[in-house]
Amino acid sequence: MQELDAQHMQRALELAQRGAFSVAPNPLVGCVIVRDGEIVGEGWHERPGEPHAEVYALRQAGALAAAATAYVTLEPCSHHGRTPPCAEALIAAGVKRVVLAMQDPNPLVAGQGVALLEAAGIEVTAGVGQAAAEQLNRGFISRMTRQRPWLRLKMAMSLDGRTALANGKSQWITGSEARQDVHAYRAQAGAILTSARTVMMDQARLTARHAKAERQPLRVVLDRQQKLSPEHDFFAITSPVLRVIDNTAADAKSWPAHVSTLVLPATDKRLPLRTLFNKLAEMEINEVWTECGAELAGALMAAELVDEWVFYMAPKLLGSSSRALLELPPYQDIAQCPELRYESITQLGDDLKICARPQHTSGGAERGEVQS
């Protein structure tokens, strides 16, 4: 039974994944309806405003849903939002058992879906495939429980930790497979964060050029000193941009409609990054993908906002005159240096992709937050 439960939940998680490029700001959810050991209905949540995973799966199952077991990767909702509550739909369909991977991460409604189901006499098993389900919705969970998006920081570098030559050239340190991987991350992110300096130096457009990209992420550019002008190529692309500036005193330029401006007073010439992240959560951004230089990367790390590092490491050597990866304070002892832990290593073409997590954001702590 436990093994079968895990197997069906695995299928539900696969279905959930299908919404990765389209479902934000909603969570990824998959659902499988099983009757007499056979899958009779499958569904996933594809787009905000469209029916939830359970609804599609129940529709497909039809009358067979009666006395069946439903596997859902997230606790069914109990409130009337843009769609009717899924807990009620499951009850109405007559399912006799619901297996779910995790509770609703929103502490205000967590457990209410389960309570509805149990009140209707349905047997509920929770926590099957929980780690994978939490992984899938890191961003949504982060927004719900920490009021800020999940931040992935991307760095493309050489084996000797350099991001560009002394003359600024960085095209191309990594190969096409690594660059395509970056576009997949961009297409799945709610927002891409960068600095005016990166936009100017790399002529970065920061759009998601990927076959599965359905929509473009919000491009958030930190421009405290207002160095970017509306004429820059970055703004020629009409996907939404959020300029973050220090004050409006000098902001007399006229910006096109797709560019909005957020004013956040700086402290010590630094924009308040944690405040920015709270604002992004309010804007329903689940995941932020960051492409920036050594300075902003160091500042994000110092603010303990980096949840995940994604390094693309080319088997090239650029030498000591080239640009450094990260600006950090001058430590006096190795023990003071920030420590990460490797999460996964993958070869992408000639390059290595190294995913790492800061020691201060352990998966355990995340789960702890969710369950509390």
Which residues carry out catalysis? 54
Task: Report the amino acid identity of residue 324.
Answer: A
| Buried b / exposed e along 299-332 (16+ C-beta atoms within 10 A) | bbbeeebbbbbbbbbbeeebeeebbbbbeeeeee
Question: Does the footprint of a second copy cover residue 175 (CB under 8 A)?
Answer: no
Q: Residue 76 has what DSSP assignment?
A: P
Collapse the DSSP code of 39 into the 3-class scheme (helix H, G, I; strand E, B; otherwise coil) and give the result.
Answer: strand
Check whether 296 is labelled as a binding-site residue. yes
Q: Which of residues 282-311 bind a second copy (CB under 8 A)?
A: 294, 298, 301, 311
Selected from 67, 107, 160, 238, the binder of a second copy by CB under 8 A is 160
To a second copy, the closest distance from the beta carbon of 342 in angstroms equals 5
Question: Does the footprint of a second copy cover residue 352 (CB under 8 A)?
Answer: yes
Instruction: Give the CA-trace dihedral at 184, 187, 190, 194, to 10 degrees.
Output: 80
Other beta carbons within 10 Å of 223: 20
Question: Does the footprint of a second copy cover residue 158 (CB under 8 A)?
Answer: yes
Selected from 4, 67, 131, 345, the binder of a second copy by CB under 8 A is 345
Question: Does the footprint of a second copy cover residue 360 (CB under 8 A)?
Answer: no
Q: Residue 32 has what DSSP assignment?
A: E
To a second copy, the closest distance from the beta carbon of 314 in angstroms equals 8
What angle is formed at CA 149 by the lines to CA 145 and CA 150, rounded to 5 degrees?
95
Q: How many residues touch a second copy (CB under 8 A)?
A: 49
- Longest Cα–Cα distance of the chain, Å, equals 70
Question: Does the footprint of a second copy cover residue 173 (CB under 8 A)?
Answer: yes
Q: Where are the alpha helices (DSSP H) in 189-250?
A: 196-202, 233-236
- Give the x-and-dash track for 310-329 against a second copy (CB under 8 A): -x---xxxxxxxx-xxxxxx
Give residue for tokens 């920036």. Answer: 292
Question: Does the footprint of a second copy cover residue 123 (CB under 8 A)?
Answer: no
Question: Does the footprint of a second copy cover residue 344 (CB under 8 A)?
Answer: no
Which run of H or E residues covers position 260? Answer: strand 259-263
8 Å CB contact between 47 and 81? no
309 bridge partner residues: 153, 356
- Of 78-86, 125-133, 228-236, 339-347, the segment contacting a second copy by CB under 8 A is 339-347
Selected from 172, 253, 258, 274, the binder of a second copy by CB under 8 A is 172
Question: Does the footprint of a second copy cover residue 333 (CB under 8 A)?
Answer: yes
Region of 49 please: left (phi>0), alpha (psi -120 to 50) or beta.
left
Q: How far apart are the first and last CA of the chain?
A: 28
- Of 19-27, 130-138, 228-236, 332-340, the segment contacting a second copy by CB under 8 A is 332-340
Check whether 298 is labelled as a binding-site residue. yes
Selected from 209, 258, 341, 360, the binder of a second copy by CB under 8 A is 341
Give binding residues for NADP(+) as ranges: 156, 172, 198, 202, 293-299
Binding region for a second copy (CB under 8 A)? 157-162, 165-167, 169-173, 294, 298, 301, 311, 315-322, 324-334, 337-342, 345, 347, 350, 352, 354, 356
